[in-house]
């Protein structure tokens, strides 16, 4: 199934969630019905407030988009049960043009694979095994079914027998002379309308007599069959065809490769492919967590194009993207941050605008293309815009943001100023979450040269909640820095009312020494007037980092 995920960065903020919802709606309305809003991180209380306010569901959670076996398997599994006669299985394989057929037992579990190669060896045994060409392993009922015949007399018809095929195409004296060579209970006699051969076989108590050519038997022969308890089957085919079909009535369970290779449906393609390539098998069952077969794969299926594609919003760095993004096709990037290191295999639509929020860009797409904006989507985009621009007070705000916001207010019926007050009072991250959760709720990873670091931001109404938990938060930030091997980890705590921030930095002491802002308390820097991670804090941090001689930063905000 083809789907296009419109997805923001890890640890998504309100703008990332709202722009994903809005742009997915725009793509669906303009010819991409498979577009789905997604997220690769948890939503916080403020995002939840936005979604409740406008009656919108949360984007689908997708932790990893790495191609998996289930992405390329064929889910319409064509299979047979183990008691299926070989002839029926071969007919299915011929009709569906497949060379390997899974044989499924109870609970849809694979007990083996039937291959055309294995069947051909059965019909054409090696010269040293020519006796096998006369062997018939089947029940009388299975024989009747495959021969499309009629069972006139049936004794233990469902018991499977290991029989020897004998064609009654000789003089009765010669036939009678050969009968003692075989145990009668193992003898399957195929004969036409020769009543003398029929009688001789029945009196010898053969296990079954098959009468070919569509001929009936006489009342006397029928009486003898009942008396000697010999099963008799009438068959419409000629003797040659009948003999072949008798061999093909064997149950497929006798011809299986039970040492097959199977893959789990959630197994990574990158892990499964080398195993398949090195295997002697040409097809592989795909199973779920209970070993139930849910699909089949051939070696060529590993070359199939994965049906999952991405549109990235509110970021343009793979280090911030959903896990596995580098392994699938990226169609578009819609962003408002400076460019990071990013390469693609083919040209894509890359829309990067110097505005205050990605929601602004998305809203403009609706307006420029004259696509109707519903009140709910307009309200959602309004929420993303005012959140990222702090209601147009952030230094990243542009005239375009202000113009779009005025339009969104009209379309949604929402007063932005009143909404912002409710939004930022809807939930304090420092009150509702653990310290570990609080410092990663809106956290982005960057690289500069060989240095990796993270910058997180928490927006609060005042600093009271922070001061109460500052020691706990500082310990969590230090642990986060060490766990990821960062040069440093920064946390910007912003007072959206006073338009100022506090900065905590864990990690390399040399780097911390480069920060020249005054300290409100030891290790906590006062960042007066700094409210934007993208436009104010990140350029300052990368400047400090450059002064250490680590090269030019390529992160974005």
Sequential DSSP letters for 409-435: HHHHT--HHHHHHHHHTS--HHHHS-H
**pLDDT at site 131:** 53
What's the CA gap between 53 and 58, in Å, rounded? 12
Higher pLDDT, 420 or 365: 365
User: What tens digit of pLDDT does each residue of 57-105 get?
Assistant: 999 999 999 999 999 999 999 999 999 999 999 999 999 998 999 999 9
Helix (H, G, I), strand (E, B) or coil at 200: helix
SS (H, E, C) 478-491: HHHHHHHCCCEEEE
What is the helix (H) or strand (E) element at residue 117, kind and residue range? helix 116-123
**pLDDT at site 132:** 66
342: Cα separation from own chain's centroid:
25
Tokens of 51: 């979604």
**What are the structural domain ranges in the chain?**
3-67+307-424, 73-120+254-299, 149-236, 431-546
What's the CA gap between 29 and 47, in Å, rounded? 24
**With contact defined as beta carbons under 8 Å apart, do 165 and 147 qualify?**
no
Check if 149-236 and 431-546 are the same fold. Answer: no
What is the helix (H) or strand (E) element at residue 501, kind and residue range? strand 500-507
Helix (H, G, I), strand (E, B) or coil at 66: coil
Task: Count other C-beta atoms under 10 Å from residue 303's C-beta.
Answer: 9
What's the CA gap between 127 and 145, in Å, rounded? 30
User: What tens digit of pLDDT does each residue of 353-363 get?
Assistant: 999 999 999 99
Classify domain 3-67+307-424 at the CATH topology level: inorganic pyrophosphatase (n-terminal core) (3.90.1640)
CATH (residue range 73-120+254-299): 3.10.580.10
pLDDT band at 134 (very low <50, low <70, confident <90, very high): confident
Of 59, 65, 91, 60, the residue nearest 78 (C-alpha) = 91
What phi and psi, each to the nearest 5 degrees, are found at residue 252?
Answer: -65, -20
CATH superfamily, region 149-236: HprK N-terminal domain-like (3.40.1390.20)
Q: Which of 98-107, 116-125, 219-228, 309-318 has the lowest mean pLDDT?
A: 116-125
CATH (residue range 431-546): 3.10.310.20
């Amino acid at each position: 199934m083809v789907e296009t995920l419109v997805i923001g960065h890890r640890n998504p903020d309100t703008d990332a969630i709202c722009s994903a919802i809005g742009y997915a709606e725009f793509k669906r309305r303009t010819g991409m019905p498979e577009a789905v809003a997604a997220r690769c991180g948890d939503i916080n209380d403020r995002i939840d407030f936005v979604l409740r306010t406008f009656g919108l569901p949360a984007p689908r959670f997708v932790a990893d988009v790495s191609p998996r076996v289930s992405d390329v398997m064929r889910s319409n599994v064509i299979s047979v049960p183990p008691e299926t006669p070989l002839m029926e299985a071969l007919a299915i394989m011929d009709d569906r043009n497949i060379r390997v057929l899974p044989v499924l037992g109870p609970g849809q579990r694979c007990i083996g694979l039937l291959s055309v190669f294995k069947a051909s060896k059965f019909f054409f045994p090696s010269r040293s095994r020519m006796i096998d060409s006369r062997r018939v392993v089947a029940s009388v009922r299975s024989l009747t079914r495959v021969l499309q015949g009629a069972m006139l007399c049936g004794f233990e018809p469902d018991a499977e027998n290991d029989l020897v095929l004998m064609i009654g195409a000789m003089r009765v004296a010669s036939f009678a002379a050969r009968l003692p060579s075989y145990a009668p209970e193992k003898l399957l006699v195929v004969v036409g309308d020769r009543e003398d051969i029929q009688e001789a076989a029945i009196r010898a108590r053969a296990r079954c007599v098959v009468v070919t050519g569509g001929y009936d038997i006489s009342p006397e022969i029928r009486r003898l069959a009942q008396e000697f308890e010999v099963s008799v089957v009438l068959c419409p085919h000629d003797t040659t065809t009948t003999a072949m079909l008798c061999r093909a009535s064997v149950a497929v369970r006798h011809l299986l490769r039970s040492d097959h290779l199977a893959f789990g449906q959630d197994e990574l393609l990158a892990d499964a492919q080398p195993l398949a390539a090195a295997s002697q098998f040409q097809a592989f069952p795909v199973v779920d967590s209970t070993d139930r077969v849910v699909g089949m794969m051939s070696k060529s299926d590993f070359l199939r194009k994965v049906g999952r594609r991405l549109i990235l919003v509110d970021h343009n760095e793979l280090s911030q993207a959903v896990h596995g993004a580098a392994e699938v096709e990226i169609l578009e990037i819609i962003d408002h941050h400076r460019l990071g290191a990013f390469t693609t295999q083919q040209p894509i639509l890359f829309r990067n605008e110097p505005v205050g929020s990605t929601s602004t860009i998305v809203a403009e797409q609706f307006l420029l293309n004259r696509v109707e904006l519903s009140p709910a989507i307009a309200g959602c985009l309004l929420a993303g815009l005012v959140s990222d621009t702090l209601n147009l007070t952030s230094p990243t705000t542009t005239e375009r943001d202000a113009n779009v916001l005025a339009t969104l207010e009209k379309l949604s019926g929402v007063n932005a100023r009143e909404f912002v007050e409710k939004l930022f009072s809807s939930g304090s991250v420092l009150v509702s979450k653990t310290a570990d959760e609080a410092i990663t709720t809106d956290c982005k990873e960057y690289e500069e040269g060989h240095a990796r670091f993270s910058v997180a931001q928490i927006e609060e109404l005042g600093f009271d909640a922070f001061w109460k938990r500052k020691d706990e938060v500082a310990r969590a930030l230090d642990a986060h820095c060490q766990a990821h091997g960062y040069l440093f980890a920064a946390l910007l705590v912003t007072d959206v009312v006073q338009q100022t921030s506090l900065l905590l930095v864990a990690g390399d002491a040399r780097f911390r020494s480069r920060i020249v802002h005054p300290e409100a308390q030891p290790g906590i820097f006062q960042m007066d007037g700094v409210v934007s991670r993208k436009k104010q804090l990140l350029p300052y941090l990368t400047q400090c980092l450059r002064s250490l001689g680590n090269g030019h930063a390529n992160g974005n905000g």
